[in-house]
Structure 1
Amino acid sequence: MSPGKVLELSAILIADDDLVFLHTLATSLRKKGFIPITADTIGKATALQQKHRPASAVVDLKIGSESGLRLIPLLLNVNPNIDIIVLTGYASIATAVSAIKLGARDYLCKPVDTLQILSALNISKLAADHESCTVIPQNRMPVYQLEWEYLQKVLLEHNGNISAAARSLGMHRRTLQRKLNKRSGSR
């Protein structure tokens, strides 16, 4: 940590391109005494992390057209002790494993509420003050979502190199690009 930078224990970085969710979660955290720091892009999240030094982060799996998993090492580079939770509406075992291997504390499926997030971040001061939340059971994931998650995992394994990922998958580069663009546009 550089001189003059203080770790903000009550600050929580939220990186999500869903602006309604972003503002709803920020409002809920603010009401519970936390300082939400919001970003709707990976670049903004990285800059805010360096400026505010939050102890925790909530990162969406897909931020714009980018994988939120890319943000995990960037956040850990600034603060190796940051607690990171990855949220997704498109859960898969492959991305959960990738998130944890990259350094995330937990991986939660949307819909999720503030108490579930705080519990996953192991912020226990709230757990005693509020009744436990109800977990909404998740339905089975459609095949196209599973495919998209797998494509994201392979792309991440090849550091975002579409040509290398396509070769690994045994498909043409343009086919992979089309599948990635089609899924990102339907969200």
Structure 2
Amino acid sequence: MSGDDRRLLIVEDDASLARTLLRSFERRGYAITHAANPNELSALVEAGRQFDYAVIDLKLGTASGLTCVQSLHRAAPATLIVVLTGFASIATAVEAIKLGASYYLAKPANTDDIEDAFGKSQGDPDVPVEGRKSSIKTVEWEYIQTTLAECDFNISEAARRLGMHRRTLARKLDKRQIR
């Protein structure tokens, strides 16, 4: 595929990161379109815009990037979608793949990582299975992420379901952010 044929959609609410990704992928010959939220993505999909590749942030302000993965995959199943997140968990990775993402990357990830992920549209049965046990903190984090996904990332509702104060949940989420 020549550079002019590589149409990339970036769905990212952080203007600085979006600009960085945009510049980096443009230098590599991609034609870039940026959407900052699910509504902007919906407008692009409704207008019939087609993309070969997409990078979608998992957390878009108070919205979930999973809805973007789902709508883009429905509109264009051939688009290779990579979910990029600072809130990585097994639960959200599984949901992203089920909804149509090709790959899931935790931040920090650079352009090379993302471009490599585009080439990994098929599973690899030779990936080593690690026998390391999950720590209690990891299990807790994954349970919180599962609950958040079930609540469509509504922190107040997730805190209620988890039986903790909203501020406590917010502090736990802030501690684990990967930027």
TM over 0.5: yes
1:78-89 to structure 2, matched below 5 A, reads 78-89=75-86
Q: CA deviation at 1:151?
A: 3.5
Q: CA deviation at 1:21?
A: 0.8
Letter in 2 for 1:33: G
Q: List per-residue Cα deviations over 1:144-163 (Å, max 9, x = no partner).
A: 9x64x644433433567889
* Residue 13 (structure 1) aligned to one of 2, 9, 12: 9
* Residue 157 (structure 1) aligned to one of 127, 150, 155: 150
* Residue 99 (structure 1) aligned to one of 96, 99, 104: 96
RMSD: 3.3
Q: CA deviation at 1:182?
A: 8.4
* Residue 67 (structure 1) aligned to one of 57, 64, 67: 64
Provide the identity percentage: 38
CA distance in 1, matches of 2:70, 2:34: 18
TM-score (ref. length: structure 1): 0.67
CA distance in 1, matches of 2:36, 2:171: 19
Gaps in structure 1 of 5+ consecutive residues: 1-7, 124-140
CA distance in 2, matches of 1:49, 1:84: 14
Give the aligned partner of residue 57 of structure 1: 54
Q: CA deviation at 1:120?
A: 0.8
Give the aligned partner of residue 163 of structure 2: 171
Maintained 8 Å contact 1:98/1:153: no
Q: List per-residue Cα deviations over 1:70-127 (Å, max 9, x = no partner).
A: 211111121122211001122222211121122110001111111211111129xxxx
Maintained 8 Å contact 1:13/1:45: no
* Residue 120 (structure 1) aligned to one of 113, 117, 120: 117
Structure 1 runs, 4 residues or longer, greater than 2 Å off? 48-52, 149-167, 169-172, 175-184
